[in-house]
Amino acid sequence: MVKGYHPASLEEALAIRAREMVIPYAGGTDLMIKPEEKAGYLFLNKVSELKNITEDGEYIRIGAACTFTDILESDLAPAILKEAVSQIAAPAIRNLGTAGGNICNGSPKADSALIFWAADSKLRLISSQGERVIPISQFYLGRNKTSLEADELLAEILMPKTGLNHYYYKKVGARNALAISRVSFAGIFAAEGGRVVCCQTAFGAVSEVVIRRPDLDAMLIGKTIEEAKALKKEYLRAYDQAILPIRGRISAEYRKVVCMNLLRDFLESNGM
């Protein structure tokens, strides 16, 4: 018989995680589809320490057990995250699904995870032995594979506060509502004194993990808008070579075309 554990505090949850083979469970919207029969469940939806949205001088800190509805109702959550979250499934799912669950399932199609990638967010992972903070890019090891250790829990997502106000977000699905992304794109851009100071792009639902290439985006940083325009073809060519879509229910060729169209539109919307 599968066991269920209902800790009342984070300390209790970590103690159970350390001694039992359990699957962390907050909203459970993915686990309802594919239940696990070989392990118990660690229910985290009552652990208040994981349900806060706060800020400090550098980060917006989003508790892993915050639901998508919590994010939509928060005054601290940035608009780019709210826009992506508002397009996740239906209200009933948004009331249950959590930011942490969207990340920890390791899917490249996860809508909120794409935004955290684009923002170069960090993850605070904790166990009864201590904690570590890593870039979200280091957390993903492949489709449905993450670097979360057997005794760890994702406690918080740390979103840098700078540069989030000027953004571009598109989700391409089969229909307007309840659609799983066929391709999704998020871009963050800022210019000061006529020069590009921030260019961060991320593509979801294209490869085994979200595609985030800061080395390519760096081609435009520090350049004037006119200089960036002159580099546009080279920049697009570099991304055309870097984006290697996988084939799924839709073709890799379709995904590639959509990715490049979205990237061009992002550039044009920012004067390039």
Domain boundaries, the chain: 4-160, 167-269
In the prediction, which pLDDT does 19 show? 95
Which pLDDT tens digit goes with each residue over 6-26? 999 999 999 999 999 999 989
Residue 177 has pLDDT above 70, yes or no: no
Task: Work out whether strand 53-55 and strand 40-43 pair parallel, antiparallel, or are unpaired.
Answer: unpaired
- Phi then psi for 78, rounded to 5 degrees? -70, 160
Task: Work out the percent of the chain whose per-residue pLDDT is above 70.
Answer: 94
Task: Give the residue among 45, 4, 49, 43 at the shortest CA–CA distance from 24.
Answer: 43
Q: In this structure, what token pair is assigned to residue 107? A: 């899917």
Burial bucket for residue 215 (CB in 10 Å: 0-12, 13-18, 19+): exposed
Place of tokens 């309802």: 32
- Assign 28 a pLDDT band (cuts: 50, 70, 90): confident
Which pLDDT tens digit goes with each residue over 62-113? 999 999 999 999 999 999 999 999 999 889 989 999 999 999 999 999 999 9
Q: In this structure, what token pair is assigned to residue 147? A: 């670097």
Q: In this structure, what token pair is assigned to residue 243? A: 């984006």
pTM of the model: 0.93
Looking at domain 167-269, its CATH class is alpha beta
Give the pLDDT mean for 243-260.
Answer: 90
- Phi then psi for 24, rounded to 5 degrees? -60, 140
Place of tokens 């400090």: 56
Contacts of 217 (CB under 8 A, 6+ apart): 199, 200, 201
Q: Is pLDDT larger for residue 28 or for residue 184?
A: 184
| CATH number of the domain located at residue range(s) 4-160 in this protein | 3.30.465.10
